[in-house]
Amino acid sequence: AGGGPLLPDSVLFEIFLYLDHADVLSVGLVCQQWRAVARDEFLWKELFYRYYRVSREVPRHPAAVSWYDEFQRLYDTIPCIEVQALKEHNDQVLHLSFSHSGCLFASCSKDCTVKIWSNELDISLQHSSNMRPYNWSYTQFSQFNSDDSLLLVSGVFVGPHNSSSGEIAVISMENFTLLSRVRNKPYDVFGCWLNETNLISGNLHRIGRITSCSVLWLNNAFQGVESENVNVVKRLFKIQNLNASTIRTVMVADCSRYDSPDLLLDYEEQLAASSTCPVFDLGSDSEEEEAKPKQTPEPAVQELPDDGGVTAEDGLQQFFDDIMEGRVRPAMTETELETKVAELFIRNRTKPPEVNLLPTESNSKTKYLIFTTGCLTYSPHQIGIKRILPHQMTTAGPVLGEERRSDEFFDSLDHVIDIHGHIIGMGLSPDHRYLYVNSRAWPRDCVISDPMQPPPIAEEIDLHVFDLKTMKEVKRALRAHRAYTPNEECFFIFLDVSRDFVASGAEDRHGYIWDRHYNICLAKLQHDNVVNSVAFSPVEQELLLTASDDTTIKVWRSPRTVRIQQARKPRPRKLLFSWLMNQKS
């Protein structure tokens, strides 16, 4: 009455904290005492922070009108109600992907088929392609190109003497015909689209027992030779791998979309964007930014130590002389010797990284090639980033790329992010500004002495978030989901990101949904086995699909969507039916 916030009875308030989320909203509609303060911002803010256990330092979602609306949004718009179970696959379902229009989605499975589904009110199977006639063991990944006219399908190919590598197939969405096939090694490179008609694949060349070279190729989706002067393939990058590591899980991020993100995760940046002041460029090199204390160490480009001006060639000769004359102590194992030689060789045979990786107006058309890699062991524990310049986005020109000098035999990475754990999943936000990474941590301060024996990995999965504009980790890692397989059996668990939510599978028989702004887990989605993949509809984030080893694809919708769909259905006229039956009797 005095103008301050009017709170309901404190006992009533405490009772509401223990109610189910839906009960809080429904009881509030009928309780006279609650109705009197239903729009009391102070009350709903207090209830929100206590109910969700969110730190009070976290501001309200930038698009929210009120705390009451936020409370309702986090109940009403989460796709947590199972509305359909698709059981057309007869083996583990490994991956899901939507078309950009949201009208179709594809599923890959251990049954060696890729299935195309029509996304209508009741989802239905539109087409199924069996890849066994092409000697595939199973399909593992798919991706629609930007105009949804082509589908990239990645699988495991069984070659001579039962050796396995990967293969990529391109399928036309017009008539579901197979247009081309591209070899892909190792198979967990997966492959991805660079633009509407060109895709990226990988190849692996062994140099030593634990040293190799990964070559990334740009392929034309239409492999039929239209002219003898037109290439269908071109080498993009050639990168040396140390300690049994390889490049895997490639994806492409579009830098041109960074300045108009769907959701800013940095709270200070949110405040700057919502004010009348100009938006600060977090990628600038201003003195003010350098003076700010940093919460986490900035991931840096990998560089080998400088030896006071001694060239790698001289260093390599000196190293061999030391070995021959017995000056190297303690004695090195064969593995350590191979790694040392490879490191010395790579220093004098690698093209230097790009000077400025952060996007600017002049290179806004640049794209990033993002992939998992490593330097200590075979399990993927680093994220490599390599800039793709506009002139590299076509297969025109020499097949082996631009002419190289002898000291540029390999390409260097422009940026490396060390995760200190086994990476088991990656996904981009819809605006390509943020990279989400599933990883299982190594023990703190662990030492890797043998690259073939990586450290044990945690059961708890950490979901890290990196800002690709600043190349820094933002927010704390999301947690809730778990995995149990050891290093040598570890497999990819695909995640997906929508405007407001991020979802992931897990080995604990659940899918999980978090809110991107508040960093809180909102829902657990039940399956009967490992959940391998999740996918939000790109046009309707209140629709989510989950794929599992239990051979099913489950369709989840929000309470709000379910209510709307039920209201549209004609209700059966029970009274009229009963009256007609009575008349007949």
What residue numbers bound the domain in which 431 lies?
81-258+365-566
Q: Does residue 528 share a domain with residue 507? A: yes
340 located within any domain = no
Going 101 to 102 to 104 to 109, the CA torsion angle's sign is positive
Q: Does residue 229 share a domain with residue 144? A: yes
Q: Measured between alpha carbons, how far is 165 from 180 in angstroms, rounded to an integer? A: 17
Number of domains within the chain: 2
4 located within any domain = no
Per the DSSP assignment, residues forming a β-bridge with 369 are 252, 386
Q: Does residue 480 share a domain with residue 390? A: yes
Q: Measured between alpha carbons, how far is 118 from 112 in angstroms, rounded to an integer? A: 20
Residue owning tokens 């999301």: 478
Q: Fill in the DSSP letter of residue 529.
A: S
- In three state form, how does the secondary structure of 39-94 look? CCHHHHHHHHHHHHCCCCCCCCCCCCCCHHHHHHHHHHCCCCEEEEEECCCCCCEE
268 located within any domain = no
* pLDDT given at position 407: 59
Q: Does residue 151 share a domain with residue 22? A: no
Which domain CATH number covers 36? 1.20.1280
* pLDDT given at position 573: 55
Q: Does residue 93 share a domain with residue 65? A: no
331 located within any domain = no
Q: Which residues of the chain have pLDDT under 50?
A: 1-15, 29-30, 227, 275-310, 312, 362
Q: Does residue 147 share a domain with residue 220? A: yes
DSSP string, 325-370: TT---SPPPHHHHHHHHHHHHHHTSEEPPPS--S--GGGTT-EEEE
Q: Measured between alpha carbons, how far is 431 from 256 in angstroms, rounded to an integer? A: 9
Q: Does residue 449 share a domain with residue 434? A: yes
297 located within any domain = no
Identity of residue 43: L
Q: Fill in the DSSP letter of residue 279.
A: P
380 located within any domain = yes
Give pTM, 2 decimals.
Answer: 0.82
Q: Does residue 479 share a domain with residue 462? A: yes
Q: Does residue 484 share a domain with residue 518? A: yes
200 located within any domain = yes
- In three state form, how does the secondary structure of 150-186 look? EEEEEEEEECHHHCEEEEEEEEECCCCCEEEEEEECC
Q: Which helix (H) or strand (E) holds 426?
A: strand 421-428
CA dihedral 500, 505, 510, 516 (to 10 degrees): -20
Domain C-terminal end among 52, 77, 102: 77
Q: Does residue 177 share a domain with residue 119? A: yes
Q: Does residue 513 share a domain with residue 552? A: yes
Which domain CATH number covers 94? 2.130.10.10
Choose among 425, 473, 438, 475: nearest CA to 300.
473
Q: Does residue 167 share a domain with residue 43? A: no
Three-state secondary-structure class, residue 324: helix
299 located within any domain = no
